[in-house]
Structure 1
Amino acid sequence: MKRHISTSIKNQNIVQKENKQLLVITHLSQLLDVVTGFGGFIVPLIIWLTQKDTVVNMDENGKAIMNFRISMFLYFIICIPMILLFGLGLLGFLVLGILTFVFPIVNAVRVSNDEQPYYPMSIKFL
């Protein structure tokens, strides 16, 4: 008697793991602009794109970070012509600089406490 060995093809579902440390690092990596002058956009982008399917909540956090970074860039661009209007652009640069420094830290703490990140003034692009 011949035995038929049946092989079944199983869908390989990607198992997501919880990694709060990587989420915190992703938020804090935005501060690379302060330390090195560059990398504050590209590093979180790379982490998000490579880990969004394997880490729980990485997709939501990555989208929040990218929306915030793109929004801040647009606001900085808008401030340039505003300098001609009584120096309002300079005040805008100051406020945006504080926001881009403070909110990655605040949201890193929020993520470590199992809360959703909140970036004010973010336009939802993604």
Structure 2
Amino acid sequence: MDEQNLTPLPSQDARQWAMFCHLAALIGLVFPFGNLLGPLIVWQLKREVDPFIDDQGKEAMNFQITVAIAAVVCMLLMVVVVGFLLLPLIGLLALVLSIIAGVKANEGKAYRYPLCWRLIK
């Protein structure tokens, strides 16, 4: 049970898969569009197993969609040089927040990314 609101924690398996939903975005460091495909695949395969996995999978997907849109805007802003400064910041922010989200999900806490456009409800 969670001490703060007395709701039962998700099972260890559900927490682990929710963590994988967030950390699967790190595949984007190796493969183009991996930051979108990794969480999408994990979420689609496991979303029916537990509501916690479904919730965190949607959150991971929404954040990675937001990051992808921000990266495209930064690439367009490279014409006026500011994109060269913003793109690495967005990458670093996405990396740090994905790791934090993965850790929180593994603890059984539903993580909400800041500045995230939630397209998938």
Give the TM-score taking structure 1 as reference length: 0.76
Quote how far apart the aligned CAs of 1:70 are.
0.8
CA contact (8 A) 2:25 2:39 kept: yes
- Choose which of 39, 48, 56 in structure 2 pairs with 1:44: 39
Cα distance in 2 between the residues matched to 1:46 and 1:102: 21
Q: Percent identity?
A: 24
Q: Structure 1 residue 64: deviation in Å?
A: 0.6
- Offset from partner CA, 1:70-115 (integer Å, 9 cap, x none): 1111111111221233x21111101111012111110011112222
Instruction: Tell me which amino acid in the other structure corresponds to 2:82.
Output: L
**3-state DSSP of counterpart to 1:40:** helix
Distance 2:20 2:57 in 1: 11
Asked if 1:114 corresponds to 2:108, the answer is yes
One-letter amino acid of the structure 1 residue matched with residue 28 of structure 2: D
Structure 2 gaps of 5+ residues are 1-9
Amino acid at match of 1:57: F
Instruction: Please list every run of 5 or more consecutive structure 1 residues that lacks an aligned counterpart in the other structure.
Output: 1-16
Aligned to 1:61: 56
TM-score, structure 2 as length reference: 0.79
Q: Aligned ranges for residues 91-110 of structure 1 at < 5 Å? A: 91-110=85-104
Tell me the C-alpha RMSD between the 2 structures: 1.6
How many residue pairs get aligned? The number is 108
Aligned to 2:67: 72
Larger CA Rg, structure 1 vs 2: 1
